[in-house]
Structures are given as C-alpha cells and as structure tokens.
C-alpha cells in the first residue's frame, strides 16, 4: 500500500476514498487515515460461564431424553414393563404437562382452542392404534442390525438438527427423525400394543416435552434448571439399570457438555481478534417497510 509521501502522489491533490471518479493515485494507495480507522473486536460477545452452563442444560436434557426413550424401549423389549401400565403413566404425564402448560401460559392469547387440542390428540391416537399392526410388521424383511443402525443414525440426526434456540414447536427434521427411529424400534417389540405404546411415548418425549420446556424457560426461568437436572438424572438412572458402563459414559458426556465445553468457550473468548475498518464491505441499508405493508 502507498503512503502520503509515496512517489506519484501529488500533495496538492487530496486523496478521496471513492470509486466513481478517476484520481492521480495508484490503485493500492491509501492515506494515513486508513489505519486510524482500524477497530478491533467491536462486536464480540462476552459470555459469562454460568450463563453458558445454563443454556447447555437444554442440550444435556435432550440427550437424556433419548436415553430415557431407549430405556423404555429396552424394558418393553425384555418384558420388564407392561404396555398397559406404560400407557396409563404416559396419559397421566400428558395431562399433568398439559395442565402445567396452561397454567404457565396465563393470560397469553391462545392460537388453538382446547377442543382443537383434544381433537388432534384423539386423531393421532386413533390412527396410531389402528395402524399399529401394520407398523409392527413394517420392517419384518429388514435385518435387526440394519434396523438398529438406522435407529441410531436417526436419533443422532434428531440431536444434531434439534432447534435448541427455539424448541417450540420442535423442528420438522428433528421430530421426523425421532419418530422414524421410534417406528423402527417399535417394530421389534413383541406385539401391536407394544408398538402403539412406544409411539405414544415417542410423541410425549420428542414432541410435547420440548414445548413444555420452552414455556418453562419463558414463564418460569427458575424451574428450567431443575427440570433439566431431573431429566438428566432420569436418563442416567434408567440407562444405569440396564448398562452401568453406558450410564458412566452418559454421565461423562453430560458433564463435558455442561461444564467443560462452556469453560472452553469462555476461555477462548480472550483470544478473539476481529478487525474492522474502511476495507469492510459496504452495507446497504434501505427502508423497505413500504414493500412489507
């Protein structure tokens, strides 16, 4: 880059930072004001450790939800849980969660009526119960190893694509991946009632629970950390009853997500070095409200 005293830079003609007129300066010429306009880290966000830990609780509890779901499936597959008992427990949890959702909503304007919610639930349960025999035999021609591999990939896709910033309603990709994994796993259960129960649990865990958790974050912030901790304990405890080594691995993964990763993020903040100056791209700002109206 040139300088004010560089060759070919007449002192009588001031340099202007414009592109639409020809000037008697080289193309790479700049004056001393170029570096004076340099700014560093003007838009860097400074994170607080415990605030980041609180936000990672949503990721940790979602991983634990997958562990809880797999625990329920394994217990039903081994015959340790009766489908009718699980159905009654799911019904009680659904009613309790719906009531809590309504209480936390307070005076918010409802987009749907309670009758519409009841109709949606009835239609889903009726169709799921009616198609349970079909879903039970859906993957009979597929090997069990392939079914387990597809389920693992779909649950991983659910965790990766889950909209953690706005979990209500759940993203279509993450929800469809979780339901697809649920159908694959439910087809390996002993009977049609088991399949219906497993899909009902999947709806409760992957579709309804994120909506309630989002409402708790908005309306009762103090309750969100406790809910996340309880879900994590349920995931670790349920997995520990079937596979102690897996529960240990899950505990280490949760501790890494909630404690180590935030510490690493906060530590790396001090090494940010973003520079901003007159070479930044032009940003065109125009009032487009007339088009939106």
Q: What pLDDT does residue 30 have?
A: 75
Q: What pLDDT does residue 14 have?
A: 79
| In contact, 61 and 227? CB cutoff 8 Å | yes
Q: For the chain, give every domain's residue range.
A: 52-266
Q: What pLDDT does residue 9 have?
A: 47
Task: Find how far residue 34's CA is from the centre of its chain.
Answer: 43
Q: What pLDDT does residue 283 have?
A: 61
User: What does the pLDDT profile of the chain (293 residues) look like in tens digits?
Assistant: 444 544 444 456 777 777 777 888 887 777 777 777 777 777 777 788 888 898 899 999 999 999 999 999 999 998 888 999 999 999 999 999 989 888 887 656 667 787 888 888 889 889 888 888 888 888 888 888 999 999 999 999 999 999 888 777 777 889 999 999 999 999 898 888 999 999 999 999 998 999 898 888 888 888 888 999 999 999 999 999 888 998 999 999 999 999 999 999 888 887 877 777 766 555 666 665 554 44
Q: What pLDDT does residue 140 have?
A: 83
Q: What pLDDT does residue 179 have?
A: 92
What's the burial of 134, exposed, middle or buried (CB within 10 Å: 0-12/13-18/19+)?
A: exposed
Geometric angle at alpha carbon 100, from 170 and 228, rounded to 5°: 60
pLDDT in tens, 120-141: 888 988 988 888 888 888 888 8
């Amino acid at each position: 880059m040139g300088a004010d005293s560089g060759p070919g830079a007449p002192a009588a003609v001031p340099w202007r930072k414009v592109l639409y007129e020809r000037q008697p300066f080289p193309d790479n010429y700049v004056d001393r004001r170029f570096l004076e306009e340099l700014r560093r880290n003007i838009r860097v966000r400074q994170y607080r450790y415990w605030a980041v830990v609180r936000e990672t609780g949503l990721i940790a509890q979602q991983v634990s939800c997958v562990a809880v779901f797999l625990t329920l499936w394994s217990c039903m597959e081994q015959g340790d849980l009766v489908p009718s008992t699980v159905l009654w427990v799911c019904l009680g949890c659904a009613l309790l969660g719906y009531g809590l959702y309504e209480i936390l909503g307070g005076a918010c304007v409802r987009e749907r009526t309670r009758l519409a919610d009841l109709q949606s639930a009835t239609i889903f349960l009726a169709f799921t119960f009616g198609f349970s025999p079909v879903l039970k035999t859906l993957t009979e021609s597929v090997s069990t190893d392939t079914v387990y591999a597809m389920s693992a990939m779909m649950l991983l896709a659910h965790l990766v694509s889950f909209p953690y910033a706005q979990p209500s309603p759940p993203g279509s990709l993450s929800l469809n991946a979780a339901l697809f994994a649920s159908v694959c796993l439910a087809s390996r259960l002993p009977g049609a009632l088991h399949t219906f129960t497993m899909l009902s649990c999947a709806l409760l865990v992957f579709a309804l629970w994120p909506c309630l958790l989002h409402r708790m974050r908005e309306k009762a912030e103090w309750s969100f950390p406790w809910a996340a901790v309880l879900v994590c304990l349920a995931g670790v405890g349920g997995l520990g009853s079937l596979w102690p080594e897996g529960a240990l691995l899950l505990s280490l993964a949760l501790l890494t997500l909630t404690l180590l990763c935030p510490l690493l993020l906060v530590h790396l903040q001090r090494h940010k070095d973003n520079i901003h100056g007159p070479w930044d791209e032009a940003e065109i700002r125009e009032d487009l409200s007339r088009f939106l109206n």
